[in-house]
Amino acid sequence: MIPIDSDADDAEVMVDINTTPLVDVLLVLLVMLIITIPIQLHSVNLEMPSTNVPPPVTEPQIVQLDITPTGEFTWNGETLSGREELEQHLRDAAALPDQPEIHLRPDARAKYEVVAGVLASSQRLGLQKIGLVGSEQFAR
């Protein structure tokens, strides 16, 4: 009888690296990249002022509009009777050819609903120059 060599019957041992798991991981990463790229491309369009705008020839008129914690309004230090009188002042300011700058200064304890209502009314009536002043009091 001829001795049987068990090593001769076995197929040759493979020395190559199994790349199937590597390809699977790369495909998963590729799919994740394809899914997340459209999310990153959404942007908010802002109209930023250009750098070559000349300074205004006249100083703008500034109106201090304060909102108290109780929801009352003051227009340049004058206490207004209510929302209707405030809207009338805003209408008058919007009708001017050179609109004044409205500096809105709400108290830190004023309700957000009142402040948001003033901003919405200003936008609805066509005021272009309105800004929040003293917002550092809200940083905590």
Structure confidence by residue, pLDDT tens digits, 83-135: 999 999 999 999 998 889 999 999 888 888 998 899 999 989 988 888 888 77
Q: Cα(92)–Cα(127) distance, rounded to whole angstroms?
A: 10
Give the total residue count for the chain: 140
**pLDDT at 133 (0 to 100):** 85
Asked whether the predicted pLDDT for residue 55 surpasses 90, the reply is no
Q: How confident is the model at residue 137 (pLDDT cuts 50, 70, 90)?
A: low
Q: How confident is the model at residue 33 (pLDDT cuts 50, 70, 90)?
A: confident
Q: What percentage of residues in the chain have a pLDDT greater than 70?
A: 80
**pLDDT at 54 (0 to 100):** 76
Q: Which of 111, 24, 16, 20 is nearest to 72 (CA)?
A: 111
Q: Cα(86)–Cα(75) distance, rounded to whole angstroms?
A: 8
- Within its chain, how far is the Cα of 82 from the centroid? 31
Q: How confident is the model at residue 22 (pLDDT cuts 50, 70, 90)?
A: very high
Domains parsed from the chain with CATH numbers: 62-138 (3.30.420.40)
Asked whether the predicted pLDDT for residue 7 surpasses 80, the reply is no
Q: What percentage of residues in the chain have a pLDDT greater than 90?
A: 35
**pLDDT at 15 (0 to 100):** 78
Q: Cα(119)–Cα(46) distance, rounded to whole angstroms?
A: 19
User: What's the predicted TM-score (pTM) here?
Assistant: 0.57
